[in-house]
Amino acid sequence: MFEILRKSLRTGIVTTSYPETPVEISRFARGRPEIDWHKWEDARPATAACPTGAISFQDTGERRITRLDLAKCTFCGLCAEADKAIRMTNVCECAARRRDDLVTEASYSLKPDGRHERLVSTPDSRKSHLNKTASLEPGSLDVLGRKIKTQVDSVLGRSLHIREVDAGSCNGCEIEIVGLNSPVYDLERFGIHFVASPRHADMLLVTGPVTRNMEMALRKTYDAMPAPRLVVAVGACGCSGGIFGQNYATVGGVDAVLPVNVYIPGCPPNPYALLHGILVAIGRLSPAPKPSHPAV
């Protein structure tokens, strides 16, 4: 025991100071993709390479609407290999409170051969339109959601108990979640603890696509939780169904079964991404800004 104490004192503090300091992550770590929308010549190669449909497009006459959906993205990098206008970053703080906030769109006019001729509308213009629409509807669901969120924050802002449910994952997300309790990330420094019973939980952390065999168990777990309660969908599978999608064995993402408060993209999201999403859910961090500018 004394040898362990000596080693601990010699090692010193290893716990990250995030979120007071930026994420300490290798530049080689794989995060979200970024598209240089102005230099994107053709969406078809990246769309064909994407295994989950995270990059897609729709042609209407001489106009093409392109789409990047981080909820479906596994950060595999195949799109960047297929298209030089796309690059992989190490940005992992991608959590969002709304599913739509993980989607970025732009539109192009087309050449006769199907390649992009000109960028017609940028992600920035679409985002401005959405913000304007929301401000014109004071009775919208967004406003109501913010009021509910304020009430939840006042109750759960300083302490949180989490019940984690594997609804059908490959256990990649579970490995990263286990890391949250390590001395490096130390989730408990925020007053956040994992509990064994949903009756003691404030937050439900769900991983994997929801398999049909786990659908009822997930609903029962949610119903057993006291109000107010939060639901966080973890990973590409939890956010959208991921590589599995919706089929004979799975019903899709978590929001196909339960109301989701925060989505954490990634495959799997690393502990920093998980920390960011959990703190966003309880109102102690702001969601990451939507990537709308061209990559540099």
pLDDT tens for residues 56-95? Answer: 999 998 999 999 999 999 999 999 999 999 999 999 999 9
Q: Cβ(295)–Cβ(35) under 8 Å?
A: yes
Mean pLDDT in the chain? 86
Which residue type occupies 220?
K
- Confidence label for 117 from pLDDT (cuts 50, 70 and 90): very high
> Count of H helices and E strands in the chain?
9, 11
Q: Which domains does the chain have, with CATH numbers?
A: 33-95+102-134 (no CATH), 137-281 (3.40.50.12280)
CA 128 to CA 125: how far, in whole Å?
Answer: 5
pLDDT tens readout for residues 123-170: 864 443 333 333 334 444 445 445 545 555 565 556 789 999 999 999
Q: What percentage of the chain has pLDDT greater than the value 90?
A: 67
Rg (CA), the chain: 20
Q: What confidence score (pLDDT) does residue 197 get?
A: 95
